[in-house]
Structure 1
């Protein structure tokens, strides 16, 4: 595959949410065809697809429980049938529920792990089988694997698992001409991040990075666009996209 100025077919999981939405819009603007995945909010995914197509892009919405291997296989079938193949898979779908380890609800823990670990694994497994040569798999971690903020224990544990999976899958795909990397955002102004935080906490986090602001979803999307397109010599890496926080 010609890796310069090449449009690709992309599946973005969690594509109707904060970072996923920005990623889908950026990749569509770059000329790629984008499948916008949703888990429960089809209306948001459909609205994004309409926004992309109205701007001259190519997109479709697709639904599935990413932790259900049968649903994910069917999802990949649908995207392949609609777009003619898959070149890039971006795993932005995730759950974040914060609380100290000592009082963390185990049912919430299981739900978080099911989405963040099993979901990423199931999608990555299908991606490893389906992504065409010259393509890319992009998973999502978090900068908190380095900053180790209190109350993030289960979430960080899930993302540490994602990092390990990403690094090993990159080595397992030797000879396939498929890159596998993860993006680890810092504090980013999305509903997932802002929920449950006080104005004082948000202000403090805004000043934590040397650039003294929260990241925007578009900042993260820029890194994904690099990995999804021209970054053919970046492989088996965790890219910390956090304004210098850690």
Structure 2
């Protein structure tokens, strides 16, 4: 199993959005009203994030940075020109798709009166039940294709961002090879070269070990403390040596 830790605010935001888009894409196709509720929740969180952060410009900067890095690799030995051209083409297409979105990302969801009504109630425990939001209850009981049409409209100006996030994070994750490491008595520390800014750490663990990492880090150093995850929900620091795979994603 893989645990990821962002090392800057841009990647932190992209990982959160990837998580929410994954939740959304899991629940939207399902016919159950409960799945539609979960999808609405993810959609509202996405709309909130893109409203607070300048996600489009951050994505465009990240895409342009990747294009510039890959173009510098074009004449290096061992680089497949055809594959490189395909990747750069995909990045340029993602830039064009984001630039074609009129207005701000998530505007259709944020300005929708129906979703605004739900948003005002989601912070209240149980606040979206049928007697609080009869309109929402009625919508949830509509045929699945009616709900699908609603999601299609609300997501129309968010899909280019979702595709760009998947592309950027895929390139970052594959920018380095995992290395076998050992955390002595459950603790691992390493200094970083400030001239080579890392984007993200990926920690690979054997699921059978029933441990998880608590990661803290910045541009100079990172620390990993491994914790035992017990069946009753408790966690305690590992005192034994823990083997793991570490990927320091640079691109």
TM range (shorter): under 0.3
TM-score between both structures, scaled by the size of structure 2: 0.25
Report the structure number with the largest CA radius of gyration. Answer: 2
Q: Return the structure number with greater strand share.
A: 2
TM-score between both structures, scaled by the size of structure 1: 0.26
